[in-house]
Chain A
Amino acid sequence: MINFEEELKKFHPSTEVEEIQDCIYNHNATDIAGVFEQMFAHKEEMQQMQQMQMQAEQEMMGG
């Protein structure tokens, strides 16, 4: 047996025309491709930092 009150909770107010702008601004555009790109960018940053750290260590050893 369907419970009216419970079912009613599944219905949400529709976005009104005046609220479209807010809806677009608040839209979460995060996707897996974006996550992948962020991961790759982070990985590159880490690699660059490691290289810089290694160079600094070598310079210190040479000095």
Chain B
Amino acid sequence: MVCYRCGCQLSEQDFCTSCGADVSLYKKILGLSNYYYNEGLGKAKVRDLTGAIDSLEQSLEFNSRNVEARNLLGLVYYEIGECTEAMSEWILSMNVEPKKNIASDYIQRIQNNPSRYDVIRQTMKKYNQALAYCEQGSKDLAIIQLKKVLSLSPRFVKAHLLLALLYMDNEDWEKARRELNKTLGIDKSNTQALLYLQEVDKMLAPDEIEKNDRKHKKEETVRYQSDNEVIIQPSNLADGTRSGFSTVLNIIIGLVIGAAAMYFLVLPANKREAQNEAQERVESIAGQLDSKTNQIQQLENQVATLEKAKEQLELDLDAYEGTEGKLREMDQLFVAASVYLSTKDVGQTAELLDSVRENVRIEDASEEFQGLYNALLALIGPELAKTYHEAGYVSFRNEDFPAAIENFLRAVYYDPNNAEALLDLGNAYRRNGDAVNAVTIYNRVIELFPDTDLARKAGQWLHDYNEGDTE
């Protein structure tokens, strides 16, 4: 302790031994400051941090240069999460005592840890934001923000208190109580927390009263008078004489009830479970069976389709390779062409073409087949027609009209432009008594070869036929 006037060290005397100034009052003031510092230290040791803050602020009211008190105040602020307040106090302390001051160590510890520094900055910002949300009425947002704050700084008492207040406003009493208990774990005499907790306890009290009542009922006693004495006996105290028998009886009753429960509840349940399992298994197997059946059906269908295709192919093959197949007709047509080209024998060629025509429908044959057939027919047709016409004429003269009709038909077939053969065919039909075909043929002559003598003859025959018919 130094003299406020000359700065010399003071002794036990009430005056300065150096300048003679009266320091009695000054000493008392500094003494009070130290007293409050000690009180604050004592409270801080037992975690009465609110009380410690009050005492230390009181100490600094008396002597603002009390470095120890200021450093401790900073430490207490730091403990309750008020990091910026703590740093302010330590910086002020450093101004008073720049050398050998533990405050410099505290400040350096924070400043040398950038992540910690950032956490402090974020905590304060978010807390202020939460407070702003509260003032705006956005309580849900405030709760979310305060939860973030507490995840950053779990010892921030003000955040715990504000969160508890919000929970209380939401009538979420259990959560509020949890937050308040956390607060009191940090600062055990926080008056605000104690006040809120009192309110929370009051709101939760009805449950506790019920519990107490139940407890009380359990502990009810039986009172009875024996002579002049009142005997108080707990109701749940067992009767010694009956205890053995009643215990056995209770055990037997319990066993009976247990067996009955087993019979009526457990066994049916097990049976039902087993039935369900069996049912599920049967359904599963039935499902598998259905799918297998479907597969078999599909495979059978495939087999049938393939067999049909096979039969068709075999038929096609037979048609191509068989004795009456197309290949044979093709061969016959080639043979006919070959015979005509090598020998110019119209008769043999005609026989071969007739054979082809008997076995094949020319209209259904391929274009190439039809082309070759028609070409051969055009080459041999007129000559062949002439031959058949002559043969027919001979038969007509011999009055063998069916043979004549056959020959004339062939002549007309091989040479459709042979008008005489066509007219002779009509005559042969007429002489054979087939008037219908005769009329048809005469009409064809008139139609195909008009303004010819043959057409006039046909017309004359038709005229005569019509007159004879009317007569």
Which residues of chain A have a CB within 8 Å of any CB of chain B?
A: 1-2, 4, 7-8, 10-11, 13-20, 23-24, 27, 29-34, 36-37, 40
Contact = CB atoms under 8 A, between A and B. Distances in A.
Contacts of B117: 17
Contacts of A7: 165
B63 interface: yes
B25 A13 contact: no
Contacts of B33: 31, 33
Contact of B192 (A10, A23, A31, A34): A10
- Chain A CB count within 10 A is highest, among B29, B85, B168, B195, for B29
B97 to A, nearest CB: 14
Given A2-B168, A32-B29, A33-B29, A15 B88 contact: yes
Contacts of A1: 199
B292 interface: no
Contacts of A4: 165, 168-169
B25 A36 contact: yes
A16 B195 CA distance: 28
Contacts, number: 90
Contacts of B29: 32-33, 36
A7 B161 CA distance: 10
Contacts of B63: 31-33
B414 interface: no
Interface residues of B, number: 42
B158 A11 contact: yes
Contacts of B4: 33, 36-37, 40
B91 A24 contact: yes
A61 to B, nearest CB: 31
Say whether chain A's binding surface is mostly helix, strand, loop, or mixed: helix
Say whether chain B's binding surface is mostly helix, strand, loop, or mixed: helix
Contacts of B127: 13-14
Interface stretch (B128-136, B335-343, B377-385, B389-397): B128-136
Given A2-B199, A33-B62, A13 B128 contact: yes
Contacts of A19: 84
B209 to A, nearest CB: 19
B310 interface: no
Contact of B196 (A2, A30, A40): A2
B64 A20 contact: no
A18 B165 CA distance: 28
